[in-house]
Amino acid sequence: MRDDAAYFLDRLIAARKIRDYIEGMSEATFRQSDLHQSAVIREIQVIGEAARLVSADSTTAHPEIEWEEIAGMRNRMVHEYFRVNLRIVWQTVQDSIPALIVQLELFVPSDNE
């Protein structure tokens, strides 16, 4: 069984991949690229699934992280894949992913990267 540290690391790696995937990209280019959309959506799913699997102790200890919203976005992308709103995805990767990376870097030792 994996522990919370592994889930924090999974989330950090996925968030960094998203950052790297869209670096220098405009929203218009993102909307035209099925490849980038699929890659970003997949990593958002990883972030949400890992957030969902973190223990109650960790979620309680870190109320600054929007656990329910993160898991909820994952659920939408998995179960309602046919209704994914690319504007919301783009807004999330622009506004939330950089902040999430900063938060997670506080919890993941640098030697695990």
Provide the annotated active-site residues: 74, 79
In the block, residue with structure tokens 């991949």 = 17
Q: Provide the 8-state DSSP code for 65.
A: S
Residue among 82, 81, 85, 56 at smallest CA distance from 68: 56
Residue among 83, 100, 108 at smallest CA distance from 4: 108
